Amino acid sequence: MKSIVRYGLAVLMMTGISGCAAHAETDTDGICQTVEQGIRLHVDGLYGGYPHSVLRDAVLESVTCPSGDAELRAFHAIAMPPPHMRVAVTRPTGQGQQGSLSVMLFSQGHFVIGERMSLSPFSRTQSPFSVKADINLATARLWSDLANRMAQGKPVIP
């Protein structure tokens, strides 16, 4: 009887944990609502043992929206239906571990553009909120690169 309770409890806990992880991985948030119809944001990743909700909040507070005429023109070309942005942050637990950040933009089911970078030394040693500057930089570069692509006469969606 004890083993049934013990293993039943273990299975129940694993099911609950995987249910929470699945929920975190499928949630999207609306961002940049003042630009066209906005963007659907999906946050992935792990940040040194912190709960996913803390990482998600840090990402939500730091994503840069398109601004300036060139960036807004480029965004307008992919704005309907609202594009989907995926931000993935990974910082393994432990001293001296590298971390990475990836930002990808999708429109109409197609990959549009992305940015990838290592986390700054400051972001590797602090809470998830320290990664805000890195996310801000990566998303600002993404919009700038998209505007440059359009200015060069290249298609916005490759």
User: Tens digits of per-residue pLDDT, 6-61?
Assistant: 444 444 444 444 444 433 445 788 999 988 889 999 999 988 889 999 999 999 99
14 lies in a domain? no
CA distance 4 to 93: 34
Q: Find out whether 87 and 102 touch, Cβ atoms under 8 Å.
A: yes
φ/ψ of 114, rounded to 5, equals -150, 160
CATH number where 65 lies: 3.40.50
pLDDT, averaged across the chain: 84
Of the two residues 102 and 91, the one the predictor is more confident about is 102
User: Per the domain annotation, does 77 fall within a domain?
Assistant: yes
Q: Which residues constitute the domain of residue 99? A: 28-151
Tell me whether residue 13 is in a domain.
Answer: no
Residue for token digits 């409890």? 9
Question: Does 125 fall in a domain?
Answer: yes
pTM of the model: 0.79
Mean pLDDT of the 63-68 span: 95
- The answer as to whether 33 is a domain residue is yes
Q: 25-34 b/e with 16+ CB inside 10 Å = b?
A: eeeeeebbee
Please state, in angstroms and as integers, the Cα–Cα distance from residue 81 to each residue in 39, 107, 149, 158, following that order: 9, 7, 21, 17
Percent of the chain with pLDDT over 90: 60
**Range in 63-67, 109-113, 153-157 the model is least confident about:** 153-157
- Count Cα atoms within 13 angstroms, Cβ side, for 149: 18
Average pLDDT over residues 98-127: 91
In a domain, 59, yes or no: yes
- Check pLDDT > 60 for residue 4: no
Residues 116-120 have a mean pLDDT of 94
Structural domains counted in the chain: 1
Q: Is residue 5 part of a domain?
A: no
**Identity at 89, one-letter amino acid code:** V
36 assigned to some structural domain? yes
Nearest to 133 by CA among 32, 59, 67: 59
